[in-house]
Structure 1
Amino acid sequence: MANKPVDATEWIRRIRLRHLEILQTIAQQGSLTAAANALNMTQPAASQWLADIEAIVGFQLFVRGRRLKPTPYAAPLLRHVERVLGDTRRVMDEMAAVHGGDGVLVRIGIMLVAASQLIPDAVKDLRNNGSEVRLELFEDNAIGLWSRFERNELDVIIGRLDERALSSGYPNERLFADQYCVVCRPDHPFARKRKPVWSDATKYPWIMPPHGTPLRVAIEATFAKEGAKTPVAWLDSVSLTTTQVLLRDTDCLAVLSRAAADYAHSLGILKAMPLVLNNDIGDVGDVGMIWKDSEPDPELESVLNAIRQANQKH
């Protein structure tokens, strides 16, 4: 088909949510046969739906074959499809909540740095003040949270204000500065050093964040800046539970946010060492909030205010 953009008004009049649902399924399944099975329709019917969608948008979205190959026009459309379908589900959830007498739902995505003190305090403040807003909490790394955020599955992210956050165009607000530090078990040989240096840390096994993440890059850059070779990782992990168990039972070292390390230290689980990442090598210092609407609805605003108030306590 000839690629030619259609008028936006015509697009709005002709497109249906069913088109978007089918397009999303086709993209996820990667073939018309698999998509047809998932949608409980015949393969010719799925093929016709895709042809209709392409006619409406004015662009070929997939090159046909045993496996569908997305054209460059597919990606931007699919991003918007995820948002529209996510918003549609959200609307129905909120209407069901109103019907059932429940509060409006606010979905919060948090990184580990906010999990130990900031968010628990904000939740307590909301409930102590009689707020009926419903809360859903998702803890993940930056990649996972941003993926949910772009699909409109989160209303706000509490985490590092990295380059992606600051260049996204979304409203954001700095809360506090937090340095990552090296941690180990309290009786670790490394914990007995009065003035540990990064070269000392290379003598022990490490648990690292995944390759390519801002934190992994910052760790490797810190070792390099200190003239030490980055140790080979025992494990690449984003699981706090697994990391804590291995730190407790082995001679492994790891890096945690200062907030998380101090909390674990207060419980006697880990010891925070006086080795911190260099803040001039990456966006790993400031912690804040990112949300989408410049004028958030009252429920989200109440959550943002609770987080602001909790932050002032620390």
Structure 2
Amino acid sequence: MLPSLRHLRMFLALGRSNSVTRAAELCHVSQPAVTQAMNKIAQETGHVLFHRSPQGLFLTDAGEILAHRAGRALRLLDIAMAEMARPVRVQATWAQLSALIAVTEMENFTLAARKLGLAQPTVHRSTTTLEHAAGVTLFQRTAHGLITTRLGQNLAQAARLAMAEIDQAASDLAALAGREVGSIVIGALPLSRSGWLPSAILAFRERRPSFPFEVIDGRYDELLTGLRRGEIDMMLGALRLPSPIADISQERLFDDEVVVVARKHHPLVAQTRIRTEDLADYPWVMPRVSTPIRGILDSLLAEHRPSNVIETSSVIMMRELLRGSDHLGGVSRMQAEVEGGSLSILPLTLPGAMRPIGLTTRAGWEPTRAQSEFLDILRQTALRLGAG
């Protein structure tokens, strides 16, 4: 559901003024154009958006939902368009913005067209028309391809989030009608996959058995990019302190301890007192340098660094390497306990071993009703984990 941007502006003007005449004046169009636009949006949404009274036209519950989300979407676009020519506000289309996003990401018109399933001239024409309406340069050609300018980057990012808001509107409107539309997209860092997230999803599915989820595994920086673009609704796992960027919000839900693990019957498992130099005598499997666990392990081994280290972001890879050798590794206690009989936790307390675990979302993000229900379950499940 992507009603025309121009129609959405008329819709908001009518919602504020309660008058077709006034909305037409505000949008510099005829009264029949406003009426036709409202009929089109009502058809696209499948809802009655206004009710008539002697005082004028007023938003229904469905209309209030759409007005709220559409207002957020258009504010995002208007902020990004502030340094552009005024015509772009009324001339820009979703198709043009989609082309801008694709070219920005692919840095090539042909690849962008392939991604969108369109002909290359169509994508080129869309971005050129948008550029003319904006009165600014959106792309610069280099030897390595197309580079989107700062203004183009800002508009592409605003368009991604504006589209996400309209998707949220579709979910909210469906819920109002007793239907389920949309999905919950989760960026899952390693710890969240070990009990917390699966438990929360199963509990949510007892309420909504058919509601779709998409769980995306990945590295923190990759998931953060998807979150900020509106492609991911929430990210679960170890929080980064301080926050790496200002446009995200982090919520601590519980703490988890980093522990050193080894295979069953590893020579160190039977030792009652383990020194740092003992750890350095063995090869290690460690996460990447930028991760919180790696920072804790590097602090532990600062004076006695192991000479043999394998780096991997895969807990499965680490587990298999440890099970078949004398390598040591560092994971969260929750992950180690989920592994059960395959790995042993060494009797060792690491300095600064407690990590905040929680939820990362976009700053100012407003979840749908279904997403709010799932967030409540996530918090309840985390509370039990923290208490345990």
Q: Is 1:291 paired with 2:348?
A: no
1:94 deviates by: 8.2
| Shift in alpha-carbon separation, 1:10–1:196, aligned structure 2, 3 A | farther
Residue 304 of structure 2 is matched in structure 1 by 228
Give 1:271's match in structure 2, choosing from 335, 340, 344: 344
1:197-276 equivalence runs, <5 A: 197-224=275-302, 227-234=303-310, 236-264=311-339, 267-276=340-349
Residue 145 of structure 1 is matched in structure 2 by 223
User: Could you tell me whether the CA contact under 8 Å between 1:103 and 1:132 is conserved in 2?
Assistant: no
Count, aligned residues: 302
Spell out, residue by residue over 1:77-105, the C-alpha distance to the aligned partner (whole angstroms, 9 max, x if none).
33333334455566678889999954652
Q: Distance in 2 between matches of 1:143 and 1:49?
A: 31
Q: Aligned AA for 2:331?
A: L
Q: Distance in 1 between matches of 2:98 and 2:308?
A: 44
1:268 deviates by: 0.1
1:249 deviates by: 1.0
Moved more, 150-159 or 126-135: 126-135
Q: Distance in 2 between matches of 1:177 and 1:93?
A: 33
1:259 deviates by: 0.9
Q: Is 1:311 paired with 2:387?
A: no
Q: Aligned AA for 1:299?
A: A
Q: TM-score, normalised by structure 2?
A: 0.66
Residue 101 of structure 2 is matched in structure 1 by 24
Moved more, 14-23 or 131-140: 131-140
Q: Distance in 2 between matches of 1:302 and 1:171?
A: 19
Residue 187 of structure 1 is matched in structure 2 by 265
Q: Aligned AA for 1:20?
A: L
Q: Distance in 1 between matches of 2:157 and 2:225?
A: 10
| Shift in alpha-carbon separation, 1:58–1:180, aligned structure 2, 3 A | farther
Tell me which of the two structures has the higher relative contact order, counting C-alpha pairs closer than 8 angstroms and 6 or more residues apart. 1
| Shift in alpha-carbon separation, 1:100–1:244, aligned structure 2, 3 A | farther
Moved more, 32-41 or 253-262: 32-41
User: Could you tell me whether the CA contact under 8 Å between 1:94 and 1:105 is conserved in 2?
Assistant: no
**SS at 1:204's partner residue?**
coil
Q: Distance in 1 between matches of 2:222 and 2:234?
A: 13
Q: Is 1:126 paired with 2:201?
A: no
Q: Distance in 2 between matches of 1:13 and 1:221?
A: 56
Moved more, 69-78 or 87-96: 87-96
Spell out, residue by residue over 1:178-231, the C-alpha distance to the aligned partner (whole angstroms, 9 max, x if none).
12111111121222222123221212222221233343333223321xx21254
**SS at 1:195's partner residue?**
coil
Moved more, 147-156 or 115-124: 115-124
| Shift in alpha-carbon separation, 1:276–1:79, aligned structure 2, 3 A | farther
**SS at 2:105's partner residue?**
helix
Q: TM-score, normalised by structure 1?
A: 0.80
Spell out, residue by residue over 1:230-269, the C-alpha distance to the aligned partner (whole angstroms, 9 max, x if none).
54422x21122222111111222111111111221xx201
Q: Distance in 2 between matches of 1:209 and 1:25?
A: 32
Quote the sequence identity (%): 23
User: Could you tell me whether the CA contact under 8 Å between 1:178 and 1:258 is conserved in 2?
Assistant: yes
1:72 deviates by: 3.4
Residue 18 of structure 2 is matched in structure 1 by none
Residue 191 of structure 2 is matched in structure 1 by 113
| Shift in alpha-carbon separation, 1:31–1:296, aligned structure 2, 3 A | closer
Q: Distance in 1 between matches of 2:206 and 2:164?
A: 31
Structure 2: unaligned runs, 5 residues or longer: 1-81
Larger-Rg structure: 2
Q: Distance in 1 between matches of 2:101 and 2:242?
A: 25
**SS at 1:255's partner residue?**
strand
1:177 deviates by: 1.0
Q: Distance in 2 between matches of 1:29 and 1:170?
A: 25
Q: Is 1:176 paired with 2:284?
A: no
1:35 deviates by: 4.0
Q: Distance in 2 between matches of 1:258 and 1:304?
A: 24
Residue 50 of structure 1 is matched in structure 2 by 127
Q: Distance in 2 between matches of 1:157 and 1:40?
A: 32
Q: Distance in 2 between matches of 1:237 and 1:14?
A: 48
Q: Aligned AA for 1:285?
A: R
Q: Aligned AA for 1:300?
A: Q
Residue 91 of structure 2 is matched in structure 1 by 14
Q: Aligned AA for 2:216?
A: F
| Shift in alpha-carbon separation, 1:17–1:249, aligned structure 2, 3 A | same
Structure 1: unaligned runs, 5 residues or longer: none
